[in-house]
Amino acid sequence: PVVDREILSAYTWWLNDMYLNNPLPLPINSNPGMVFPPRTFRSPNDIARFAARLIVAILDHKDILDRRALPVERATSREKGQPLCMTQYYRLLTSYRVPGKPRDSIYSKLQQDEVETNPGPENIVVACRNHLYILGLRSPDQTRLTEDEISSQFLTIITEAPRLMSAAPVGILTSDRRDTWASAREKLREDVQNRQNLDLIENALLAVCLDDPLPASFNCRTLRSDVPEAFRGHIVNARDETNMAHQMIHGGGSAANSANRWFDMTFQLVISSDGVWGLCYEHSPAEGVAVIQLMEEVIKKCDNMPPPTSNILSNIHCLPPQRLEWDLDNQIQRYMQDVAQNLDCMVEDLDFYVYRYPGYGKEFIKSVKCSPDAYIQLSLQLAYYRLYRKLVATYESASTRRFQLGRVDCIRSAHVEALQWVMTMCQDESGAEESEAEDIQTGKRVTFSLYDIQQKLQLFDAAMKKQTEIMVENILGQGIDIHLLGLREMAKELGEPIPDIFQDEVYKIANHFALSTSQVEEMSTKYLFW
């Protein structure tokens, strides 16, 4: 569809403000991770076969995208039936984030109107033991490789990489600050071979990272044995879901798999040799709902594929994977060491644990006539208040896909009604919300609660109503944050003075989100997403 210049400008302002202006490293700060149900691998053949099937399923999905044939989704509530913008679904396999100064940029590998006449090379990056390979998915006559042929290519990499000398951890460079990585990238591109390597990587559909498992002791600062079994979820060789999630989010540090990544890539499938698998994705092209829709379809297709009828053949006639070789001077090598130290500090500083709550879920919440989203948001406010005795600016994403190029606006969950409710819930934990008197008969001090159960419920209902009201305003385009962003950026573009509100201390406090939240209700409980 044709996009008005004004709409494109507004989207660019939002994209820059939300992602591309931010110089912080992508891992931990921006790139989400997902963990899928573990697989059972008995041999390298099983790993190669599984990786190939994932790629075949993704290529089937790509064919739908190339035809622009995705069914248009429609709103299921609040003015039901409105069409939702599908643009971000089409960016997943065509976008790449390029580091830059003063801001990053998004490189579109292929314009949609070029797809039918020029399907592109269809290469993927495969990382194994820090070695980076380019795996072509088309034969010299431009026919697409079969599942067996792709399996053979993966098996070649899996067997070859461990036998090679240790690879220079070039992938670790993508984990650094965006401005410093931009400088290093320009330095790399001064060499012809390095420039060709980067061009191949940046034009690839996606990356597949073939990992070694993290040790079960990784990030284990508490006794996991103390966690009830019902709360633990998947366990693989003593690795719990906390351990698995760290592998997807950042790779485990420079001594583990963090250099076996290319964090600028929109889509990175991560497959560990012990059957743990998931993905890490670069967030700027799309929201989680687009990634989840793709992966649920891919997993379903893989699960429905028939068992292989033969072993993987190593003598299939197709071009072997191309291992990338780099020309790295002393300056780049010192820089890689510095980046590795920086990343290891970030990994060490990340205090992150996964717990499952089996008591109840959204069905119970709905049965008591509450919105699951609002219920969870108020629960987060209560938890934060119990810890710190205050509320802070809270970000919750609200989909604005009812509008062309719409992504998200901000539901601000820390409102007056939430504060009133959490204070009443904590009245028995702090004297600030209680009244004391002396019992005449016993002479003992007696504490009287200012609010009874009924009053707490009334305040809870008021907070739920307010939370829902703010959510509806946002999804219908009546939130405040995107409009304020447009006001500020339009003033800049027109060369007019920036309105005073943007210099006010209150505005700065309101936009420092100490609590940032998100959830995807459509997501299957089998998958974990951060």
Residue 348: Cβ-neighbour burial (10 angstroms; 0-12, 13-18, 19+): exposed
CA angle 305, 311, 317 (to 5 degrees): 100
Angle, to 10 degrees, between the axis of helix 147-160 and the axis of helix 44-66?
130
- 52 neighbors 321 (Cβ within 8 angstroms): no
Q: Which residues are within 8 A (CB) of 87 and not within 5 positions of it... i.e. 6 or more apart? A: 404, 405
* Rounded Cα–Cα distance for residues 523 and 57 (Å): 19
* Rounded Cα–Cα distance for residues 267 and 290 (Å): 12
The residues facing 447 across adjacent strands are: 436
- The residue with tokens 């997943």 is 92
Token representation of residue 56 = 């075949």
Report H helices in 67-191: 147-160, 178-188
* Rounded Cα–Cα distance for residues 241 and 161 (Å): 28
Residue 202: Cβ-neighbour burial (10 angstroms; 0-12, 13-18, 19+): middle
> What's the order of all strands across the beta sheet hosting 131-136?
322-323, 131-136, 123-128, 207-211, 267-272, 277-281, 33-36, 528-529
Catalytic residues: 283
Q: What are the CA-CA distances from residue 360 to residues 357, 365, 378 (Å)?
A: 7, 8, 16
- The residue with tokens 């291992």 is 323
Number of alpha helices (DSSP H) and beta strands (DSSP E) in the chain: 14, 15
Token representation of residue 53 = 């099937």
Residue 176 zone, left/alpha/beta (φ > 0; ψ -120 to 50; rest)? beta
